[in-house]
Structure 1
């Protein structure tokens, strides 16, 4: 065969190769696209689609060529446009019809998959495989798959639920992991988990058991359970998964109810962590959390009234509340200290200082009364004996006995100080001593036991500090005792410094001088931080942000002093944040102390109220504007554009007409609509109303173009009162009115009438004897702000709201709960702005009750700590 006489398949192969290797220029591609587009236009014009009946997307897409060419009749154009709003596929066809060249260009220029992208896919697959392997490992290797439970008591029916079977459970029968178990109608059961925890199930409740590498998991699908969690090993937790929240504990008593609307968690004894989404809350005895506001408020008594152990649970709740109050009373009885022999010994670079009285006697008395009440109740006595079963850790009885034994040899004050920064910080504990020999004997015995509990020496007794070598410290603590003084530190240098210190010749520091003034006024429980020293390193590290923080006045902090002491027989809490110059920036936005008229529009039955006197609003706007102009030009430009679109000047039209007093309150029912109210002082109501009307018009002009509804502002009159109703299309609405120099805003007109009636009748929060009785003794007649809350009736933690009928509780149980609830009063925080400081004060401040935190949280965890964890603490 001659070269010219090729096989047909060879000719085809060569032709394909030439086509593949040939590249077209951009102009040639563009010309080809133009020819295709011209042909399509001609075809669309000459041969329009014939669609007699529109039945689906195919028919709508056939109308698109005429729609693009503007040849579609109005009726069909309306139908097509309405369909295009809802159909993504047809909108894509419309886009392709209008942009045919875009698709050709995309296909012509689409590159092959990059090598880096291939490696990224491979890496993702490897990571996914590794994660899958870890999940398998955790599920079948790290997890204790032998975890199960035993049915200990059954009243009625307890069943195992499978796909198409229901198997009865007998007493003593084991419940395996992931088995779904359910109690029948009018039935309840008690399960004992493998770790010793007790799980009590109400009738018609359904759960399953699971286990993870972190500890046992109880999954509740519906109904109510009460869990008496056994003490968990180090690093492990017991969890209850209710789908919309997760409850985690180490050893406590609590209940969980899973309903259609949501879940409710109530605490009887101890402390639990409740995680809901990204938020985690800590609940103490008598407290409760609901995952949805529509859940009917229920007291803790109602939550546990079905339990066979209701007497024990009610007694526990009552005793822990009484114990907490006894501890607080013991704090109040501690005398004030007007000087300190420990303060001169703190280091020059101290950044934190805490000092508290030796309350061993009052603590011991409260504990003795608690033990007596426990012994008189068989249920509580059995519970306490179970808590004090001997194991490798200290029992509560042993820990309390050791604290009392050491405390009896100490003097009137104990202090803790922290020095240095994050990298070279050290802790120093100082205590007055009244019996050196007794304390030496007690501490040496405890140190020997402490070292014997671990695998290394964690505590060292020091007789001669000069023999210590600073810089070669272990991770333990050094104990040093000299006449009248005990020093404990992780730093050998600190022990040596205290050993040779001469109090009379010790240099002072601004931080120590400020603390000395606090002692001169009488000190109780004291916490202090040198904010200036703490903030300085961070300010240097964040030089880019220094200009903004400087303008906001956030670099002016000097010291924070928090104290709690007895004044006039009442336990008072006080926090003072001082500045190194006159308040400026954000700190100056809080106004000076003065009268508050907005409180006259709030009733004494309000759940919460917050009222503040602020600096001139126009000056605040000026400061914010100056910061935006110098630090964020984009934000400043957006603000100017917003004002232009709305036709409103924020400073002149909104800030200038306002006064300096603002209040927010929740005053009334929460269902179906929360009864909130906003009250603001107004100097020029007409100007402010004009600005509101202008903003409503501006917003409507913008949103109506996008088809998002509109705002309506309607003036109305009812009961002789003129007000405005501001509503969004098919959305929420608010009502507001101007009354006697104030703007009052609520979610409904009836609440406006109520606010005016409260003021006219004098039935106001400001005149309530209960509210006024919450003001601290040391505060002046006027203040800059108040924060008030009385939520306990709402969340159901106050048993005085439990009816005597219909709860399943006996009159004696209801009486005990009401007695315990009476010891949990509302709280009030008073804020006062001074020239160079801001003072927070109150009685029963949440989060500032040091002894309460120790009693319900840290004490229990410290008792159960390992020696290593104790040293780290």
Structure 2
């Protein structure tokens, strides 16, 4: 018996000595995860009750990140078991693997063997549970096709076939919609997915989680409320974790865009996490410019409810914009900011403004069922949270002066940001501690000067600091920044107001400040250059952008009329790209646009040949740049500088002028010096391009001339199909281009009769009140003429919503003018009143089809 025990001890010792290292275990786990098709991460993920419960302590203490807090809060809202455990104050059992201890040889007793067997069985049961919960591929279908508008195909291992309503998708199957088609899927968890045209998705499941893989295209997801697990939407460059929300994901060649209509989602991209709330969007690349969130839902079959919601929000915005913004004509904080301040933003104390806005919102909410539905979706305590937030802001505002200043400072460890305000009554420290420190998220650490001096450099793990002084309060997430500003406030005047940058800000105050944004771009670019790449730095120098100095933006109100002004200043005469905007001059191209145009953007440039010279000079810095330019000229058979640019006059216009449905009535107007030579150049270009087109899908163009009413018109045809691509003519030194000859003739009529936008009294009334007779660029929009014709094609709630949208839509104009050492722009519209992108919703293909159908009836 003793010999047997020794043999067993020796066997156990050998097994322990063969225990793999932690790194080997991690690597093996990663390989297994890869084969199972799941993501492996060393950090704990939040996917079930077992993941959430260990975080209760940190959630109560407010030390969780915002992303993880959102997921924990969402889980508590949906899981009664965890909610009871959370309120009871108990945590979860810690199932983490215990730390391995050094191997020791000892005698194994029978009772010890029993406990070992029990532990092994427990671990096996836990492993089986974990496998089924997170890794096992469930049986059954993943989704069912609820509707198809057009055609859709199923791509699987067995091939492809056309889908019908009621078809089922299994693990690994991919659904693709054709051009002009839409489809709706119902996932096995109850979520619905709406697919736009030319989109491809597949659905997978692992344990309690489902994953919608968006290969390309756009989807709108209405995620079902879950008691466990999450729905994930994945693209090539991001992953979206959701439950109980409505959101869209669009994946294209540039990257991905996520937009949220209801609730909140967690987006993982490039190793970072971001929380996207309702009304916000997230893009995975800077090349994707922001656009209205509603644009991401405009193709939906439920777009009518979005239009109605948009109309209600537009009315709400219009009412809030009527609240006057307090103005200041000076600031005692300006000269007490550090001398190396690079960004200075001044906003008024908005406590009373926010309270008035809340009152307006509540009134609008009572009157609009659509707003009520939107507001009540998702979280059940939105109204209470809004009341709490507004009350906190209003209470705090009563302790502060008439403005708050946001500054960015240049520091050794990077830029430091802070918010500074005067304190006009005592008790602010107690208020902040009561309202913010006691809050569940614990977002603010309130300190005084004594505590500041004893604080070490760094940032709080969560939230920010509030330094409450006798006469000022400073908010920042950096102790170093707080110490810098505290020292300057104690020292008094810094001389910043007397600096060149400070003088520009002081001048803005003298005109009456509503909101001021001032940036020392020269210093900012210098800092970025020191840490940037050589190619980027070289481009800034070659393009002339490196010569930029200051940006001063102002918003104020005068007699109830908003006034916006932007001033981009350079250190000397504008060079290269920065000089392409010409000096103010008459914009004659506006005379070819009717007063009822929905959109017109016109401008003048410096001499086009000088622009080509700039481009050649910039390309010459690249060792292959000049060769590529000469090669292009040789292949095109023209001299780009003399034949093309040399015949242009430097004035350009693009407009939407006429019906937008079924095809937008666009027109372009270009100033031309010598129409004969320019036409010859265009025809040579067409021949050269046609000569380089190859393949069965290549479509060349032909240009044919014809006479009508003594005017020569040129028609551009698709050489393969004969379809008319555009029509153009030359008149009064301009080339007028449009999709049809009728639109070209309309432009000629507007010019000859004087019934044009350029002569419109209502258009001129929108122009800023300043010393300029002319401008370098003008941008104009008026949605009224676009929306009104649509009413004849709609009825019921959609028509009512469009009427509201039309009544709240007002024409707006922005004017810009170039100076030797600067560019200025001004507008008498509200800060966010310019709404070019709303046109996109009205030009949607489904709206076009509806208009065609209505006209045929």
The TM-score bracket by the shorter chain reads: 0.5 to 0.7
Per the alignment, in what secondary structure is the counterpart of residue 824 of structure 2? Answer: strand
Distance change >3 Å, CA 394–CA 325, structure 1 → 2: same
Of 456, 463, 468 in structure 2, the residue corresponding to residue 481 of structure 1 is: 468
| Deviation (angstroms), 1:792 | 7.8
> Which of 254, 262, 266 does residue 252 from structure 1 map onto?
262
The RMSD of aligned alpha carbons is 5.5
Deviation, structure 1 residue 581: 0.8
Secondary structure of 2:438 counterpart: helix
Task: Identify if the C-alpha distance between structure 1 residues 342 and 380 changes in structure 2 by more than 3 Å, giving closer, same or farther.
Answer: same
Structure 1, unpaired ranges of 5+: 1-124, 149-161, 169-175, 181-188, 202-206, 255-268, 305-312, 851-873
Residue 749 (structure 1) aligned with residue 741 (structure 2): yes
1:832 equivalent in alignment to 2:824: no
Structure 1's 672 and 383: CA in aligned 2 closer, same or farther, altered over 3 A?
Answer: closer
Q: Matched residue pairs, number? A: 658
Change (3 A) 1:803 1:539: closer
Deviation at residue 714 of structure 1 after TM alignment: 2.8
Q: Who is 1:626 aligned against?
A: 617
| Deviation for aligned residue 1:490 | 2.7
Q: Which residue of 2 aligns with 1:768?
A: 760
* 8 Å contact kept, 2:599–2:781: yes
Q: Which residue of 1 is the match for residue 448 of structure 2?
A: 462
Distance 1:482 1:681, change over 3 A: same
> Cα 1:461–1:804, aligned 2, differ >3 Å: closer, same or farther?
farther
Tell me the equivalent position of 2:478.
491
Q: Answer whether contact 1:389 1:395 (CA < 8 A) is retained.
A: no
8 A Cα contact 1:419 1:427, kept in partner? yes
Asked if 1:781 corresponds to 2:684, the answer is no
* Mapped partners of 1:408, 1:804: distance in 2: 51
1:822–1:209 CA distance, 2 compared to 1 (3 A): farther
Contiguous gaps of at least 5 residues in structure 2: 1-27, 41-46, 48-130, 141-153, 155-160, 175-183, 196-200, 232-239, 265-276, 836-857
Deviation at 1:449, TM superposition (A): 1.3
1:599 aligns with 2:590: yes
The correspondence of residues 373-388 of structure 1 with structure 2, limited to 5 A, is 373-375=364-366
Q: How much has 1:358 moved relative to structure 2?
A: 1.1
1:130-209 residue pairs with structure 2 within 5 A?
A: 131-135=34-38, 141-142=133-134
CA distance in 2, matches of 1:685, 1:490: 62
Q: Does 1:667 align with 2:657?
A: yes
Q: Which has the larger radius of gyration?
A: 1
Distance in 1, matches of 2:615 and 2:460, equals: 51
Aligned to 1:676, which of 666, 671, 676? Answer: 666
1:121-136, aligned counterparts within 5 Å?
A: 131-135=34-38
For residues 60-119 of structure 1, the C-alpha deviation after alignment (integer angstroms, 9 at most, x for no partner) is xxxxxxxxxxxxxxxxxxxxxxxxxxxxxxxxxxxxxxxxxxxxxxxxxxxxxxxxxxxx
Instruction: Within 5 Å, give how 1:316-335 maps onto structure 2.
Output: 319-330=312-323, 333-335=324-326
The answer to whether 1:819 aligns with 2:819 is no
Q: What's the secondary structure of 1:560's corresponding residue?
A: strand
How far apart are the structure 2 equivalents of 1:549 and 1:816? 47
8 Å CA contact 1:286, 1:300 repeated in 2: no
| Greater mean alpha carbon deviation, residues 225-234 or residues 547-556 | 225-234
Aligned mate of 1:271, from 264, 272, 279: 279
Q: CA deviation at 1:770?
A: 4.2
Distance 2:700 2:370 in 1: 64
Secondary structure of 1:606's counterpart equals coil
Superposition deviation, residue 832 in structure 1: 1.1
In structure 2, distance between residues paired with 1:274 and 1:469 = 36
Which residue of 366, 371, 387 maps to 1:397? 387
Cα distance between partner residues in 2 of 1:342 and 1:387:
42
Q: Say yes or no: does 1:589 pair with 2:492.
A: no
Deviations 1:210-253 (A, max 9, x none): 87999888999xxx999698899996464667998999565629
What secondary structure is seen at the aligned counterpart in 1 of 2:482?
helix
Q: Which secondary structure does the structure 2 equivalent of 1:464 belong to?
A: helix
- Paired with 1:423 and 1:214, the residues of 2 have a C-alpha distance of 45
Match of 2:495 in 1: 507
Residues 733, 805 of structure 1: CA spacing in aligned structure 2 closer, same or farther, 3 A cutoff? closer
What is the CA-CA distance between 1:720 and the residue it aligns to?
2.2
Shift of the 708–607 alpha-carbon distance from structure 1 to 2, 3 Å rule, reads: same
Alpha-carbon offset, residue 614 of structure 1: 0.6
- C-alpha displacement of 1:750: 2.5
In structure 2, do the counterparts of structure 1 residues 507 and 210 end up closer, same or farther at CA, with 3 Å as the change threshold? Answer: same
Partner of 1:519: 509
- TM-score between the two structures when normalised by the length of structure 1: 0.63
Give the C-alpha shift of residue 194 in structure 1.
8.3
TM-score normalized by structure 2? 0.64
Report if aligned partners of 1:612, 1:662 keep a CA contact under 8 Å in 2: yes
Residue equivalent to 2:22: none
Tell me which residue corresponds to 1:348: 339
